[in-house]
Structure 1
């Protein structure tokens, strides 16, 4: 494997221990960076919940590299709320909370899941609301030097963004209609592969639009080496295009030592600022 700076997604990994103990567990495993899906049950959690989360990150001595905006009830199948006209206030209030956490912890990337299609709302209306909300999020992120990530997702039939081109079209719309240029592509190699995208071509075409990378093997979404996806080759390809950001470990553990594919000395971040 090439050795980028890895960041552990503590929402999908280390799930056998309480959420607030996972940053320390990642640190104990040799990593110094973590990322999370929205770690609270509601878009606007109580202050003490936020304080406890921030303390867990700081106490572990890890960098919070990325944070998802609230995405609804993920276990029930939700994949974002930003394209739902009925949740505009909830999304924007959530953005404000997430920005506050990021300011405290030096986080510079937010994943904005687009949301499943709603049968009760015209598609054009959903897309217009999404663009407006993403412009709001992008403007808020810009104030702290951060970016908002747009991610193609697999395994959710009603989720409209399947390919890198789908996500980039949203990014371009927000820039064209609202003048906001802080949106970037989240290239999750697993999702792109499973959705049938040409991963190599996507990297070559959109390398300068990629704000974050995540990996899992395919099929199965397990550790690198459990499937047939050429993760190492794609990471080398990304590096060849100048990508020097974090690579998120967003896979499902299939064995007790889920990090044994990566030697301990290669787990610490060696990120070079672009």
Structure 2
């Protein structure tokens, strides 16, 4: 079984989608999990306050910990993968950053995923890179007020998304560190995305374990639960443990069947996060 000491959370934006979004934290709790994460759970960068309040109440009432949240990423179903590198949407992104920090303060969430954004045909890549650096620095400074970390993720799928490998994302982290002394940035290592993009996952984990702030998993091919594909998740997660990774592992897969039945690979007694987590361990 993968990662005997690792703690798992459920990504409720891709699991339990058979339920209304606000019912999903309670469903994760009923399945034995104490922690959840979400992509941006609203249609707008800054939704009405009543929608935010309802989301906070759903997490609180389910008695689960929110351990990961994405910044607004545009129209995800339509193919957007972030807006932080789009100059025309900088104001919108920064308003969202302030709201994300407020949600983090209210929930204890300290890890925030900033999807970089697709390349656009009307802008030179350098312009988008400069915009991304400025907006990542802003996001990092904003969540630093609550002890938060901004995550940068390589993803598969849309080819205009420029961060495909761990090295691509680490280069962004390095640029922010060198140019702006931004230190609360980390790599989000989604083992599925890295695998299907052709990255050498054991090499990535060996070289960058100290830069990883969050891990997500799905099997490959198919992006379903562990055991449905050919990815050596056991080996990868054990390697992470040996390298000293003590963060969360987000279950970010498309369940092959009902969500509640897709956790059979993980014994119920290993789904809870334990009661003695420190603030540092929650990140």
Do they fold alike, i.e. is TM over 0.5?
yes
Instruction: Show the 5 A alignment for 1:1-274.
Output: 1=1, 2-3=3-4, 4-256=6-258, 257-270=261-274, 273=280
Residue aligned with 2:142, SS: helix
Aligned length: 274
Residue aligned with 1:34, SS: strand
Q: TM-score, normalised by structure 2?
A: 0.95
What are the superposed Cα offsets for residues 105-161 of structure 1, whole Å, 9 maximum, x if unpaired?
Answer: 000100000000010011000000000000000111111111000000001111000
Q: TM-score, normalised by structure 1?
A: 0.98
| Alignment partners' CA distance in 1, 2:184 and 2:142 | 10
| Alignment partners' CA distance in 2, 1:44 and 1:172 | 30
What are the superposed Cα offsets for residues 27-70 of structure 1, whole Å, 9 maximum, x if unpaired?
Answer: 00000000000000000011101000000000000000000000
Residue aligned with 1:207, SS: helix
| Alignment partners' CA distance in 2, 1:266 and 1:100 | 31
Q: What displacement does 1:173 show?
A: 0.8
Q: Unmatched 5+ residue regions in structure 1?
A: none
| Alignment partners' CA distance in 1, 2:234 and 2:30 | 25
Residue aligned with 2:173, SS: helix
Name the Cα RMSD after superposition: 0.9
| Alignment partners' CA distance in 2, 1:88 and 1:72 | 12
Q: What displacement does 1:176 show?
A: 1.5
| Alignment partners' CA distance in 2, 1:182 and 1:140 | 11
Residue aligned with 1:66, SS: strand
| Alignment partners' CA distance in 2, 1:233 and 1:57 | 32
What are the superposed Cα offsets for residues 192-244 of structure 1, whole Å, 9 maximum, x if unpaired?
Answer: 00000000000000010000000000000000000010001000000001001
